């Protein structure tokens, strides 16, 4: 039996959700529950052996990156130890990883190698990170420089993919004296991806195929897929925030990336469900039978709106209000189970490019790591 967590009093909502850094905020939050800690503690309780989370992959990397952000705030040693134990299942004593990096998804967990090298000083984590960095040299790209989603997906760019490789590459470059390459490669990929996937409604198509022969039937004129899948857009939104926060103020592509954020913000504002504050699985099809409101993408969109507003890249109360609605809407999907563990519901399972029926039919999971990781990244920004 599950009971709905009573969030209003714990969050000090009263007449409206209070967010630090947004208009109408600034009230004390001493009574608020620490939902980030609750999510990390509950997941560790469900998977006491980090190996049981699963193998090397981006969903585990996303959740553990979120757990690290919580560790940075609260200093709980067990969080860092848990991350280290998971990574150590994949890195041997010499820093070697027995895997190839033939898709962008496989690179995302490399962020954990960088943070562990910084936290522990153990050089084998740097050696493992070097293995991923070396793959960029000959990783296949489109003629205009966009990294393929996978080596088996020739000339395909998926909006999901930029978060998997580009923040890692930029962090690596900043940490190890490889900045010039990282700045150029990362910003070029974001530019190329966005240019091909951008739609006039403020959203991004899920994928683009330069050859036009992908099995998901690209548009003959544009090479894009047909629909606007929520989480794919969310990955791109989060990537822009992370990259802009690391990019020099005078970088020549900085203004372009901020313009991309503004494009997405207009779309997020346009398609946010006013009743719940969340966004639909297929973003622009709210009235379609079978469409449903998805939590991981809603966390990602809320994160972008809030961060962009804080940085001054967005102006006007409409964006701040959308972030408040989004945060409230995501928290509405947080529950405490009878066993005292925290859960988050309505998270889409992993998803490829497909038609409407395919997107609508994705499983609505509870505690899927896509959603837990996205929640932690969002909550660590908004619940300060």
Residue-wise pLDDT for 119-140, tens only, equals: 999 999 999 999 999 999 999 9
Sequence-ordered list of residues with C-beta below 8 angstroms from that of 22, at least 6 positions apart, any chain? 306, 309, 310, 320, 323, 324
What phi-psi label fits residue 3: left (phi over 0), alpha (psi between -120 and 50 degrees) or beta?
A: beta
Q: What is the C-alpha separation between 340 and 3, in angstroms, rounded?
A: 10
Q: What is the pLDDT of residue 316?
A: 84
Angle CA(40)–CA(352)–CA(222) in degrees, nearest 5? 130
Residue 200 Cα to chain centre, angstroms:
23
Q: Is the pLDDT of residue 2 over 60?
A: no
Q: Is the pLDDT of residue 25 over 80?
A: no
Sequence-ordered list of residues with C-beta below 8 angstroms from that of 256, at least 6 positions apart, any chain? 187, 191
Query: Rounded to a whole number, what is the largest CA-CA distance in the chain?
Result: 57
CB 335 within 8 A of CB 317: no
Q: What is the pLDDT of residue 195?
A: 98
Q: What is the pLDDT of residue 317?
A: 80
- Please report which helix (H) or strand (E) contains residue 294, including its range: strand 293-294
Sequence-ordered list of residues with C-beta below 8 angstroms from that of 82, at least 6 positions apart, any chain? 44, 50, 64, 67
Q: What is the C-alpha separation between 187 and 252, in angstroms, rounded?
A: 9
Q: Over the stretch 237-290, which tens digit does the pLDDT of each residue have?
A: 999 999 999 999 999 999 999 999 999 999 999 999 999 999 999 999 999 999
Active site residue 213: no
Query: Which class for 31: exposed (0-12), middle (13-18), buried (19 or more C-beta within 10 A)?
Result: exposed
Q: What is the pLDDT of residue 27?
A: 30
Q: What is the pLDDT of residue 113?
A: 98
Q: Is the pLDDT of residue 110 over 70?
A: yes
Q: What is the pLDDT of residue 336?
A: 96
Confidence of residue 207 (pLDDT cuts 50, 70, 90): very high
Q: Is the pLDDT of residue 16 over 70?
A: no
As given in the structure block, the two tokens for residue 268 are 């997020």
Q: What is the C-alpha separation between 67 and 72, in angstroms, rounded?
A: 9
Which of the following is catalytic: 41, 160, 284, 368?
Answer: 160
Identify the CA nearest to 104 among candidates 253, 239, 297, 264. 239
Residues 78-88 have a mean pLDDT of 98
Residues 217-229 have a mean pLDDT of 98
Higher pLDDT, 280 or 5: 280
As a whole number, the mean pLDDT across the chain is 92
Q: Is the pLDDT of residue 355 over 70?
A: yes
């Amino acid at each position: 039996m599950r009971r709905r967590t009573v969030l209003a009093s714990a969050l000090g909502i009263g007449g409206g959700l209070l967010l630090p850094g947004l208009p109408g905020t600034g009230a004390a939050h001493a009574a608020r529950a620490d939902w980030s800690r609750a999510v990390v503690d509950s997941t560790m309780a469900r998977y006491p052996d980090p190996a049981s989370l699963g193998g090397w992959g981006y969903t585990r990397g996303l959740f553990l990156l979120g757990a690290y952000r919580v560790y940075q705030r609260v200093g709980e040693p067990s969080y860092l130890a848990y991350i280290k134990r998971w990574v150590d299942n994949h890195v041997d004593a010499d820093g070697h990883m027995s895997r190839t990096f033939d898709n962008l998804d496989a690179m995302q967990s490399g962020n954990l190698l960088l943070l562990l090298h910084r936290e522990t000083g153990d050089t084998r984590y740097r050696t493992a990170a070097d293995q991923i960095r070396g793959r960029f040299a000959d990783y296949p790209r489109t003629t205009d420089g966009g990294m393929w989603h996978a080596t088996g997906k020739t000339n395909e760019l998926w909006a999901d993919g930029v978060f998997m490789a580009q923040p890692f590459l930029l962090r690596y470059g900043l940490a190890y004296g490889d900045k010039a390459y990282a700045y150029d490669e990362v910003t070029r990929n974001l530019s190329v991806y966005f240019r091909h996937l951008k739609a006039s409604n403020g959203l991004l198509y899920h994928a683009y195929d330069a050859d036009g022969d992908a099995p998901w039937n690209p548009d003959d004129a544009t090479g894009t897929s047909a629909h606007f899948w929520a989480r794919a857009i969310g990955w791109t939104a989060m990537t822009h925030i992370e990259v802009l926060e690391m990019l020099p103020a005078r970088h020549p592509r900085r203004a372009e990336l901020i313009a991309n954020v503004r494009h997405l913000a207009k779309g997020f504002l346009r398609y946010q469900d006013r009743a719940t504050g969340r966004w639909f699985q297929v973003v622009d099809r709210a009235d379609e039978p079978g469409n449903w409101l998805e939590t991981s993408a809603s966390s990602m969109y809320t994160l972008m709106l809030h961060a962009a507003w804080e940085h001054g890249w967005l102006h006007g109360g409409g964006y701040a209000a959308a972030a408040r609605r989004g945060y409230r809407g995501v928290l509405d999907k947080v529950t405490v189970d009878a066993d005292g563990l925290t859960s988050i519901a309505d998270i889409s399972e992993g998803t490829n490019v497909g038609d409407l029926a395919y997107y609508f039919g994705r499983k609505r999971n509870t505690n899927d790591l896509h959603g837990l990781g996205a929640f932690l990244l969002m909550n660590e920004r908004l619940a300060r």
